Amino acid sequence: MWSDRVITALDAPDWAQAREMLDRLPEENRRVKVGKQLFTRSGPRVVEELRDRGREVFLDLKYHDIPNTVAGALRAAADIGAWMVNVHASGGPRMLEAAREALEGSEARPWLIGVTVLTSMDARELRAVGVEGDPENQVLRLARLAREAGLDGVVASPMEVPMLREELGPDFLLVTPGVRPAGAGADDQRRAATPGRTVADGADYLVVGRPLTRAEDPARAWSSLIAEMDAAAGGT
């Protein structure tokens, strides 16, 4: 079901406001994302509370550190019941391999995905940090690195989904933030696309935040989003 492929970003400053967001969304919205602000303020109990409410949690903390530190953090994320976790693929092969190995013995192993190039970045910003060329080239380079290290998939913008699906095959997970329904503002996303296009191009999971959580009627916005995805996928 396409409703299982949408991860709603609970980008709230604390658990009280995140809970209000959640309560306005339909129950079929089973998968949610918890990011740095909410987790830093409210801690692991947010994940536990969400699990108690029947949600699966993408813990979006984008770990990027020395291999041993990242491995320890991922074991902790698995212990609190995260469904999906991520690391920066730019951390390099040893860090990525340590991340994978850290989760191999988990009782309920979360999906492990690598962040390629943040959707807020463009070619100019990449040049500012010493990366020459288009974002697409860097995304593909890091995605290949993540696959070679044994990760389950990557986070990439909708713009790179067709290229990654063609280059990396059907079994490598593609998780796409920067999804904006037709008529929605881009906010701080530089490389965004509509849900319909993103699904048609081959994305596995769509991360959607403000178009749902800040909608006047979140339940209606959710229904429209799922309908657009279903239509793009030919009703499958």
Mean pLDDT of 211-223: 91
CATH class of 2-232: alpha beta
14 is catalytic: no
> Which residue among the candidates 14, 60, 188, 204 is catalytic per the annotation?
60
63 is in an annotated binding site: yes
pLDDT digits (tens, 9 = 90+) for 97-110: 999 999 998 888 99
61 is in an annotated binding site: yes
d(CA 209, CA 90): 25
pLDDT of 188 above 60: no
pTM: 0.91
What is the three-class DSSP state of 66? coil
62 is catalytic: yes
d(CA 53, CA 107): 21
36 is in an annotated binding site: no
d(CA 164, CA 155): 11
pLDDT of 154 above 60: yes
pLDDT band per the 50, 70, 90 thresholds, residue 183: low
Q: What is the pLDDT of residue 234?
A: 67
Hey, what amino acid is at 227?
A
d(CA 226, CA 208): 12
23 is in an annotated binding site: no
Helical pair 93-103 and 67-79, crossing angle rounded to 10 deg:
30
> Which residue among the candidates 4, 14, 65, 204 is catalytic per the annotation?
65
11 is in an annotated binding site: yes
45 is in an annotated binding site: no
pLDDT of 189 above 50: no
194 is in an annotated binding site: no
For the chain, what are the domain ranges? 2-232
Q: What is the pLDDT of residue 186?
A: 46
Mean pLDDT of the chain: 91
Hey, what amino acid is at 213?
T
CA 210 to chain centre: 14
For residue 111, give both structure tokens. Answer: 């999906």
| Neighbour-count burial of 218, counting CB atoms closer than 10 A to its CB (0-12 exposed, 13-18 middle, 19+ buried) | buried
